[in-house]
Amino acid sequence: IEVVGAPVINDVKDLKGAVLVFHDITDLKRVEEMRKDFVANVSHELKTPITSIRGFAETLLDDESPDEEVRKQFLTIILKESTRLQSLVHDLLELSKIEKEEMKLNTKLINVDEWLKNSLTLIEQQTQEKSLQFIQEIQPNIHLHGDPDRLQQVLLNLMYNAINYTGSKGTVFLRIKELNNKIEIQVEDTGIGIPKEATQRIFERFYRVDRARSRNTGGTGLGLAIVKHIVEAHQGNISVTSEEGKGSCFTVKIPKKW
């Protein structure tokens, strides 16, 4: 709380009292703190791959005659780290676009069956690569109003997480149905799960349960923050239930019309 005070003086310069104004600045402070955290996080996230790209490039240049295998190994790291940088910058731009243009959704009437077809090709390829079982339970002939591209991003981010955080031989479920004038999209996996105390925090930018692991899977820590923004821009909500070692289940509910 910020306090501003001023004395109250009458015509003959007698002190009559004082006025105190109390400002609750906790919200402002929090926003400022979050902004600082965000900048620190971004800088850190960008620094890590840059340091490693520089380091490996310098080593390659210094070494007069690196053998073929070492050269390949270093270049592979450089490629992987620059790809990470690229996804990071991409996700940051996405997030800032979404935050700025939250109201500018390109809303259309979406036929869920058709909308799914496009996204599924990308997903099926990934599930096959990891030999995961992919089970779909889709209610036919349902529609909703929304931005098809943004909602595809929601689906892909949730599905990629389900795939990334589930070992091979696991199962990923995708369920879509209509319930109480809402479209419910559920992505469930039999993967590593999320500790109870982390379930609310995973929607924050850059929050990750296990930094190292998420980096290895190519994660940026921004996927769920983007998902939450898009869902809320559609007047919807997202929730998660999870058990460590058993799996996670994300549920998105979006009003059919808003």
Q: ∠ at Cα 38 (98, 204), nearest 5°?
A: 65
**CA 61 to centroid of chain Cα atoms:** 37
Q: By CB under 6 A, is residue 148 in contact with ligand ADP?
A: no
The distance of closest approach from Cβ of residue 210 to ligand ADP in the complex, given in angstroms and rounded to an integer, is 6
Q: How far is CA 256 from CA 50, 98, 119, 237, 249, in A?
A: 44, 21, 20, 13, 22
For ligand ADP, give the closer residue by CB, 38 or 207.
207
Give the chain's end-to-end CA distance (angstroms, integer): 38
Q: Give the residues across from 77 on adjacent strands.
A: none
Task: Give the footprint of ligand ADP on residues 167-206 (CB under 6 A).
Answer: 189, 191-194, 202
Closer residue to ligand ADP, CB minimum distance, 72 or 218? 218
Among 165, 228, 233, 253, binds ligand ADP (CB under 6 A): 165
Q: Which is nearer to ligand ADP, 111 or 126 (CB)?
A: 126
Residue 22 C-beta: closest distance to ligand ADP, Å: 38
Residue closer to ligand ADP, measured from CB, 155 or 162: 162
Please give the angle made by the CA atoms of 16, 21 and 23, to the nearest 5 degrees. 170
Instruction: For 135-192, give the DSSP string.
Output: EEEE-SS-EEEE-HHHHHHHHHHHHHHHHHTS-TT-EEEEEEEEETTEEEEEEEE-SS
Instruction: Restricting to residues 206-225, name those near ligand ADP by CB under 6 A.
Output: 207-210, 214, 219-225
**Which residues of this protein are in contact with ligand ADP, per CB under 6 A?**
161-162, 165, 189, 191-194, 202, 207-210, 214, 219-225, 248
